[in-house]
Structure 1
Amino acid sequence: MGRRRNTRFDVAVTGMGLVTPAGIGVEANWARVCSGRSTASRDEALAGLPVDFSCRVPDFDPGALLGRRLAWRLDRVSQLALVAAREAVADAGLDPKTWDGARVGVVVGSSFGGAATYEREHARVLEEGPEWVSPLLMVMAPVNMSAGYLAIDLGAVGPNLVVSTACAAGSTAIGTARQLLEADMCDVVIAGGTESTSTRTTMASLHRMGALSVRRDDPQAASRPFDADRDGFVAGEGAGMLILERAADAQARGARVYAHVSGYGATADGHHPSAPHPEGAGAQRAVRAALADALVEPADVGHVNAHGTSTPLNDVTESRVIRQVLGDGPAVTSTKGVIGHLIGAAGAVEAAYTVLAVHRGQIPPTANLTSRDPEVTVDVVGKETRAVRLSAAVSNSFGFGGQNSVLVVTAA
């Protein structure tokens, strides 16, 4: 939960790195997300499955980006994280060769870790025998390893952890990083999320539980948050990393500040393994807690980057939560219409998009919104970007298990 304060604790976002289906790099991401064009397409790795499409990172060559020797030793989930983290560090104007690594922390959100490596090696032990299982499995697949590899690569040897709160994990990581800074456990935190879990087993299970869109005839139209014709989400992969510093420290070193992370709220529904609470009770408490933590009034929030999964239950419930807590004022968008659902990375990538919206005064559209569900009674941005001056915005993330994480972003 967030807490009531007498003074606000602002954390400066001084750098960002994005590797998503919208592209590699912050500028490529922002251009594609603002275009409102979906990235979903047929996925050769899923050929023959009932759902054979996803949102993949385009033209991702880990050997070229990281070096072949390093790339070979990493699961794709860590490759994505490392490329995004390197971009974020450079964007912040920091140099790992000169910083005090003991004062640099790493917090990564991920739900599945190296799922592809686990699946590959499990098939190998069944088909070829135990002597053929890779000895690198235990340093590639565990969920903690992405944070470990970031520390090794960047010399960030302060607090190092992975948080796993399903689809809220990336947001939880940023909130946790903010708490580390407030506790003076470090001066800089590399925080975000990473996921690459569109494996055959995972996708088959998600389809069986009815979570995925089955729009095989038109994958680009499949992810359609808040639309009356939505039928499930489209799975994606990617990583988003933010460089966070105390606002006073960022100012003292003359850093460029995109925006501030000023509030964090976290709750549990305690209701159902996969369905949201019907009244969104836990989500409401998370939003209210984040606002209280940021000392921000509901009327001050001009934008919500919604969890907006394109599933029948989530979108209606979330719209009720937004209206109940924030009224009908905020302009709402879901960038999952473009990049799909990045699971454990979703909250971090969407937090970065929220930071960019506040920094640039521009809200991306919700892709594929052609006929808004009549039960969705909030102001959903559709068709094209909306220019608006923002003093405060909210980024919502909700996950299986009823885990809710909400961030409040304010103008620098």
Structure 2
Amino acid sequence: MALQVFTAVTGAGWESELVGALDRDDHGVTVVRRCVDVSDLLAAAATGTGQAALLSAELRRLDGDAVARLHAAGVAVVGLVEPGDERAAQRLRQLGVSQVLPADAEPESIAEALRNAVAGVPAGGYDVADLRAALPVPEIPDAPELPAVGRGRVVAVWGPTGAPGRTTVAVGLADEAARLGTSALLVDADVHGGVVAQVLGLLDESPGLAGAARQAGAGTLDGRTLVALAWAVRPQLRVLTGLARADRWPELRPAAVTAVLEEARRVAELTVVDCAFNVEDDEELSFDTAAPRRNGATLAVLEHADTVLCVTGADPVALQRCIRALDQLREVLPEVEPVLVVNQVRRGPVPGDPRQEVGDALQRFTGRRPRWFLPADRRATDAALAAGRTLAEVAAGSGLRAGLRALAAALAGVPVADTGRRSLLRHRRAG
């Protein structure tokens, strides 16, 4: 049976000839509809009558969300660009189109690309190569030089509801990693109430993550643009602030957030993402694959992170919430294996040795033992919050700061300073 294909390459002088060649010759491809714009293409995809779409980079209103909706409808996508138009090829790749060919490719090659896209085969030799290095860098005022990173790591800081200290841990990890010589990017992706900007005394009306997501959706996000959208707190630490209002959550579409994380890997050795607590699916919207989901950004971060830290408090209420949250995460993303971090450890809420008791409880009810314990230090966190600074700036000798420094060193793969180790050991003996 011939492959059923939609086309949306309006405005191209070669469109009619190409469609005729695909239909006329025995390539195993049949064009079932020639769409005039993105809306027409999405409507055709929703009918289920085609398996692939052939589109051009010049298609108006083509963005990452449209490509994601085509994929959700079970329609594979192949892009065509004018010969030599490397910018258009790169834009299509950023939008999620893996198979990109020049428009003067032979019909046999285009038909083969369509079949490979449907079969999920990676792009072949006739694809336009990765042209990132060949692209001219757009001029952005006051944008610093990009660091040579390669592919950095992404760490998601997640945890149950109830203020277990996710933001404190995320900010501390990014700051300590930067102080250890690792280039770090702190991203506020909390769609329910991100406060990273307030914690660090930054302007929360800056575009931040929402601006980066918009650029990613349009296929125009690159490393220099991402760096320009982030606050430079210090030479090794940049911050991508979150939503100024929680009702703007639809701006953080999962596909766009994923694209931002991929670009973040190229500009920072360690990207720390402060996530929202909620991972539940909206059952009323689950039948509609095109409907936005408030928790989609959180799920996208957790799914694509190299390491997921589950931050919980050390009291009975926080532990119960953590156990339930881990069960829910296992249902939604069973492949994610979070690392337990117990925050706010202190004597009083649980009898006996708090580390031993909390560790035993989590082992018994979740099958996981905490990897890290962070001591409670209310005086230090209050001082940092009041000044809009980090723990290292206002309480350098804090046991909490030492614990975060050791955790940051482990995640970044760098040795921690001896002073930090001694401070942490002193606190453990005192506890």
Does TM, scored on the shorter chain, surpass 0.5?
Answer: no
Q: TM-score range by the shorter chain?
A: under 0.3
Q: Point out the structure with max Rg over C-alpha.
A: 2
| Larger RCO (alpha carbons 8 Å, 6+ apart) | 1
